[in-house]
């Protein structure tokens, strides 16, 4: 099996939004020239997926449709807290984070329905549905400030007999377990449904996996606010792989520290060895974790190749690779 190169793509290089084809085609040609075989396009910013797929196909590049709960749920029910708790979150962590709550049935139903429409319309033009941020919000924030939306309150009423958790509850192992179990069940329901949709439409289901699955090195300070642990956010990507619920996992190992990158990479290999899903390591060019210089990206690519992986997936928040990065990516194919 040849070493495969892919990249996430926000398509932010498109300036002429009324006629995006030329800019899309030009960028596809650049990516093809350096060996990129697959682009994972962010559905919130692609402008025109029909044109994007046409530009990619004409350059021999496959497309995956990149969706997240935040962009793919119609009229989402977001995580709810009283204002006093939002203020405390902001004081403690420097941010208010309020994404769709997976425990709310409307959110699950809407995401599944919208994914079905996407799959039915674009099967044959995209090769996969790509799930990103398929989880609750960052573990650091949900640990201290659990959601109090109507669905979460009803679930607690069912299992605890009351709706709002106290500070003591947040330290109770049994309650902690049940909170995590409910999150994981809700998110797993979405994943299984999307996998069934993908299978029905001859598409693959891929996902972006949190770098910290369980006990890997983490970064809790801004602007990262934690790389997991994934299992605390309801994203048990190892279990999903073992159960055959996803076809490929692209772990977001964007560390700029070489020692941490290697440690996390080796742990991901161990976790997914013999599992069902294909594994491709993410490599950060520039992300919220910082910027890797071209020579470091080259070193990471060679490390991934030497370990016998299927390939890697590049994340670059600017989308367009500077010439120095293009050179090292292209050289990895020679």
Q: pLDDT tens-digit profile of 56-109?
A: 999 999 999 999 999 999 999 999 999 999 999 999 888 888 899 999 999 999
Q: What is the pLDDT of residues 158-192, one digit of tens each?
A: 999 999 999 999 999 999 999 999 999 999 999 99
Using DSSP's 3-state secondary structure scheme, residue 61 falls into: coil
Percentage of the chain exceeding pLDDT 90: 88
pLDDT at 1 over 60: no
For the chain, give the mean pLDDT: 95
Q: What is the pLDDT of residues 189-244, one digit of tens each?
A: 999 999 999 999 999 999 999 999 998 877 788 777 877 899 999 999 999 999 99
Question: What's the DSSP call for residue 83?
Answer: H
Which uninterrupted H or E stretch holds 58? helix 49-58
85-108 burial, b if ≥16 CB within 10 A, otherwise e?
eeeebeeebeeebbbbbbbbeebb
Work out the average pLDDT over 20-37. Answer: 97
Answer yes or no: are the C-beta atoms of 263 and 217 closer than 8 Å.
yes
- Confidence at 333, pLDDT banded by 50, 70, 90: confident
Nearest-10 crossing angle of helices 105-122, 173-200: 20
Here the tokens at position 286 are 């520039």
Kindly list the structural domains of the chain, giving each domain's residue range(s) and its CATH number in brackets, ordered by start: 4-76+109-134+187-331 (3.20.20.330)
Of 176, 170, 179, 184, the C-alpha closest to 152 is 179
Alpha-carbon distance of 254 to 314, in angstroms, equals 9
Residues 6 or more apart in contact with residue 263 via CB below 8 angstroms: 216, 217
- Confidence at 133, pLDDT banded by 50, 70, 90: very high
Q: What is the pLDDT of residues 32-62, one digit of tens each?
A: 999 999 999 999 999 999 999 999 999 999 9
Alpha-carbon distance of 213 to 1, in angstroms, equals 27
pLDDT at 246 over 90: yes
Place of tokens 């049940």: 178
Here the tokens at position 316 are 């670059």
- Confidence at 264, pLDDT banded by 50, 70, 90: very high
Alpha-carbon distance of 27 to 303, in angstroms, equals 27
């Amino acid at each position: 099996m040849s070493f495969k190169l892919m990249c996430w793509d926000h398509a932010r290089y498109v300036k002429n939004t009324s006629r995006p084809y030329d800019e899309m085609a030009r960028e596809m040609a650049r990516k093809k020239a350096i060996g990129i075989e697959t682009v994972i396009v962010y559905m919130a910013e692609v402008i025109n997926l029909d044109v994007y797929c046409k530009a990619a196909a004409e350059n021999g590049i496959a497309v995956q449709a990149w969706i997240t709960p935040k962009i793919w749920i119609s009229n989402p029910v977001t995580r709810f807290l009283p204002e006093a708790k939002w203020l405390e979150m902001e004081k403690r962590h420097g941010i208010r984070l309020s994404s769709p709550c997976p425990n709310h049935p409307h959110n699950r139903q809407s995401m599944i329905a919208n994914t079905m429409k996407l799959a039915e319309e674009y099967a044959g033009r995209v090769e996969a549905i790509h799930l990103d941020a398929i989880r609750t919000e960052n573990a650091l924030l949900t640990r201290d400030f659990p959601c109090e939306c109507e669905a979460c309150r009803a679930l607690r009423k069912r299992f605890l007999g009351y709706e709002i958790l106290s500070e003591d509850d947040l330290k109770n192992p049994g309650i902690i377990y049940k909170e995590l179990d409910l999150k994981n069940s809700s998110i797993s329901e979405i994943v299984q449904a999307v996998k069934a949709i993908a299978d029905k439409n001859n598409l693959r289901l891929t996902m972006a996996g949190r770098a910290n699955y369980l006990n890997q090195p983490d970064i809790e300070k801004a602007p990262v606010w934690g790389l997991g642990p994934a299992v605390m956010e309801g994203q048990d990507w190892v279990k999903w792989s073992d159960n055959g619920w996803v076809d490929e996992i692209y772990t977001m190992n964007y560390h700029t520290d070489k020692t941490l990158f290697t440690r996390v990479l080796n742990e991901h290999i161990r976790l997914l060895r013999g599992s069902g899903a294909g594994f491709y390591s993410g490599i950060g060019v520039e992300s919220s974790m910082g910027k890797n210089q071209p020579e470091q990206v080259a070193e990471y690519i060679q490390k991934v190749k030497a370990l016998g992986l299927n390939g890697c997936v590049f994340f670059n928040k600017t989308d367009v690779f500077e010439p120095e990065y293009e050179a090292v990516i292209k050289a990895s194919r020679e």
